[in-house]
């Protein structure tokens, strides 16, 4: 059973470009979460999605960031007009959100974004 | 005040030692509790869920005290491979809230 998959693993963008990060959840998981880890900091929640729905985006910066989880295909985290402060590791997690194991989330290997 | 507070360490212990980590959380309505492990800022890996009754998985024991809003992790007979950052994590309405982590270094 493949785990959570993320690509690309490393992404380099110049300031002002767009970054697209992709996440495929574990088989059987319909809930996807994005987290960001800035250098020397802990992981911070960004957004929680189900298929075609954003459930909680309270951790998303108000501008330039968006996320989606379409009916078909991976979840996408999109960062427009990247700035140096966006350089971080972006982790995706998925969960089956069963009653027996609420909120246990399994993480992908992350995408390390570097903005030059 | 941070939602989840941990002593960052580092904790330097010899192989075979017993080491304990503690964590406090501020939101009394928190719903679920976990310890994750992170190696060299790779992806966090779920170590164990934490229940009020306490739970044990091999050399690892976790305890939750809801009244004091306190979570602990005990590692017995430390191995070199236990060297990592241990993350105290709270679950609320789906999202996870992470502590800064406690670094453990097990020495030969």
CA angle (B9, B13, B16) in 5-degree steps: 140
C-alpha–C-alpha distance, residues A35 and A11, integer Å? 16
Q: List pLDDT tens digits, range A77-114.
A: 999 999 999 999 999 999 987 655 566 899 999 999 99
Nearest alpha carbon to residue B72 among B91, B88, B56, B96:
B88
- Name the closest residue on chain B to residue A42, using Cα atoms: B100
Nearest alpha carbon to residue B85 among B68, B97, B73, B71:
B73
List, as ranges, residues 1-30 from A with C-beta within 8 Å of B: none
Per-residue pLDDT at B26: 94
Mutate: best of A25, A43, A44, partner B, most B CBs <10 A: A43
Per-residue pLDDT at A98: 63
Contact B46 A106 (CB under 8 A): yes
The whole-number average pLDDT for the span B40-58 is 91
Per-residue pLDDT at B93: 79
**Cα dihedral sign for B50, B54, B57, B58?**
positive
The whole-number average pLDDT for the span B40-57 is 90
The whole-number average pLDDT for the span B84-100 is 92
The whole-number average pLDDT for the span B47-55 is 88
The whole-number average pLDDT for the span A9-29 is 96
Q: List pLDDT tens digits, range A34-83.
A: 999 998 889 999 999 998 999 999 999 999 999 999 999 999 999 999 99
C-alpha–C-alpha distance, residues B36 and B45, integer Å? 5
Size of interface A-B (CB pairs under 8 A): 60
C-alpha–C-alpha distance, residues A31 and B50, integer Å? 22
Q: Do B89 and B4 touch, CB atoms closer than 8 A?
A: yes
C-alpha–C-alpha distance, residues A112 and B93, integer Å? 27
The secondary structure of chain B, three-state, reads CCCEEECCCCEEEECCCCEEEEEEECCCCCCEEEEEEECCCCCCEEEEECCCCCEEECCEEEEEECCCCEEEEEECCCCHHHCEEEEEEEEECCEEEECCCEEEEEEC
Residues 6+ apart with CB under 8 A from B14: B78, B106, B107, B108
Confidence of residue B18 (pLDDT cuts 50, 70, 90): very high
The whole-number average pLDDT for the span B39-66 is 92
Query: Would you call B29 an interface residue with chain A, using a CB distance cutoff of 8 Å?
Result: no
Per-residue pLDDT at A100: 56
Contact B91 A91 (CB under 8 A): no
The chain-wide mean pLDDT, for chain B, equals 93
- Nearest chain B CA: its distance from A116 CA (Å): 21
- Name the closest residue on chain A to residue B40, using Cα atoms: A40
Q: List pLDDT tens digits, range A20-41.
A: 999 999 998 889 999 999 988 8
Tokens read off for B88:
């105290």
Chain B residues with CB under 8 Å of A7 CB are none
C-alpha–C-alpha distance, residues B12 and B83, integer Å? 9
C-alpha–C-alpha distance, residues A96 and A104, integer Å? 8
> Looking at the predicted structure, is the pLDDT value of residue B104 above 70?
yes
C-alpha–C-alpha distance, residues B97 and B99, integer Å? 7
């Amino acid at each position: 059973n493949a785990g959570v998959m993320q690509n690309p693993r490393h992404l380099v963008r110049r300031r002002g470009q767009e970054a697209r990060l992709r996440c495929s959840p574990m088989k059987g998981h319909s809930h996807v979460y994005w987290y960001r880890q800035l250098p020397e900091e802990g992981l911070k929640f960004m957004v929680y999605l189900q298929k075609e729905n954003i459930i909680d985006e309270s951790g998303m910066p108000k501008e330039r960031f968006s996320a989606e989880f379409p009916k078909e295909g991976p979840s996408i985290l999109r960062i427009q007009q990247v700035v140096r402060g966006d350089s971080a590791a972006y982790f995706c997690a998925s969960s089956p959100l069963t009653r027996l194991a609420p909120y246990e989330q399994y993480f992908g290997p992350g995408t390390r974004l570097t903005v030059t | 005040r941070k939602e989840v507070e941990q002593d960052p360490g580092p904790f330097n212990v010899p192989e075979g030692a017993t080491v304990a980590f503690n964590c406090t959380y501020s939101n009394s309505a928190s719903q679920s509790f976990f310890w994750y492990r992170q190696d060299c800022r790779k992806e966090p890996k779920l170590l164990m869920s934490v229940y009020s009754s306490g739970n044990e998985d091999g050399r690892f024991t976790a305890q939750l005290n809801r009244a004091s809003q306190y979570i602990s992790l005990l590692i017995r007979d430390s191995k070199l491979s236990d060297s990592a950052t241990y993350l105290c994590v709270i679950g609320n309405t789906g999202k996870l809230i992470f502590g800064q982590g406690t670094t453990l270094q097990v020495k030969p």
